[in-house]
Structure 1
Amino acid sequence: MEDNRQSLSDLADLQGAVVANPGNVDAGAPVSTAPLREQQIDAQGRAYATGKRKDAVARVWVKPGTGQIIVNGRDQTVYFARPTLRLVINQPFDIAGRVGQYDVIATVSGGGLSGQAGAVKHGIAQALTRYEPTLRTVVKQAGFLTRDPRVVERKKYGRAKARRSFQFSKR
């Protein structure tokens, strides 16, 4: 039996060894480069997703375009007047490197403006991964596909609020 081990002196040799000997891969088997998930597009060429944050729920459609974001029939600069909320909405595009390449139409209801911005961000991230499945790893590593589970705690009986007791009276 021959000894097939080689000594690798530098990284270029290592690269050549990896390419020359891929391991237990069968030479006759085709190598798939397709993404694990399929592209999910409707008849109009849009990807749809639902985003949630606190009590807010956003329905989001993403399609190729000029980067226009419309929320409840109004432009994002009108609906989300605070720059921080607009920054939150655009985070998935910044992470994916797709700024100005997609148009977004969103309808959002419930909660306040901060929760609604978080819901739209979650919906954009979900819809973006459905339109371009190769972006899923980048968006997921940034944490945008995970729904933020924090919600307002409910009021308990015998309490003034969720945790606050009624004022104590000594007499």
Structure 2
Amino acid sequence: MTDQDTVVATSLEDLKAAMEDQGAEAAQDMPLPDPKIDEHGRSYATGKRKNSIARVWIKPGSGKIIVNGRDQEVYFARPVLRLVIAQAFQVADRVDSYDVMATVKGGGLSGQAGAVRHGITKALTYYEPALRRPLKAAGFITRDSRVVERKKYGKAKARKSFQFSKR
């Protein structure tokens, strides 16, 4: 907007609409960042979930996913975990177009699957910066920071108390 394009807002709805229009124009004008691709044609990212950390490399290919040197069907035996990993590719419309090589440490299988998905999402945005908007809208770029609450002293678990005895 220039100095001559002044908008008179008579209500909060008008002001909100004007701000959304201005934000949409600014988003369209901003150039996309350059892709981050190494000399081997791969893009690297780190994904985290609970206590799991995944190092993920993606490159164009046939959709093969290798986790800790094993195929995804072997490493993540439960179909739900394989669906979690594939979500980023489905949202980005890139199913079977990238090969993934990941190493995962820590936590359980559910946390590791979430970490791999987070790493794939970040690596996709590094390889194709235009994919950031749909992946962000799906909520995959933000790290899920929920972790197990620690046990406190004087308690049976994190919050559970010992049984009360009157006598």
Cα distance in 2 for residues equivalent to 1:100 and 1:33:
32
Contact 1:39–1:132 under 8 Å retained in 2: yes
> In the alignment, is residue 136 of structure 1 matched against residue 141 of structure 2?
no
Aligned match of 2:88: 92
The structural deviation recorded for 1:162 is 0.5
3-state secondary structure, aligned to 1:48:
strand
**What's the CA shift for 1:33?**
7.5
**Max radius of gyration: which structure?**
1
Which sections of structure 2, spanning at least 5 residues, go unmatched? 1-27
SS at match of 2:118: helix
Q: List runs of 5+ in structure 1 lacking aligned partners.
A: 1-31
Query: Identity, % of aligned pairs?
Result: 71
* 1:45-82 deviations in Å (ceiling 9; x for gaps): 11000001111110000001110000000000000011
Secondary structure of 2:38 counterpart? coil
- The equivalent position to 2:39 in structure 1, one of 18, 40, 43, is 43
CA positional deviation for 1:34: 7.8
Runs of 4+ in structure 1 deviating by more than 3 angstroms, as ranges, are: 32-35
Aligned AA (2:54): A
Partner SS, residue 94 of structure 1: helix
Q: Could you tell me how far apart the structure 2 residues matched to 1:60 and 1:86 are?
A: 15
What's the TM-score once normalised by structure 2's chain length?
0.80
The residue number in structure 2 matching 1:8 is: none
Aligned counterpart, 2:59:
63
Q: Which amino acid aligns with 1:75?
A: D
Which segment drifts farther, 158-167 or 99-108? Answer: 158-167
Opposite residue 92 of structure 2, the aligned amino acid is: A
Which of 75, 79, 82 is equivalent to 2:75? 79
Query: Retained in 2: the 8 A contact 1:63–1:102?
Result: yes
CA RMSD in angstroms comes to 1.4
* Number of corresponding residues: 140
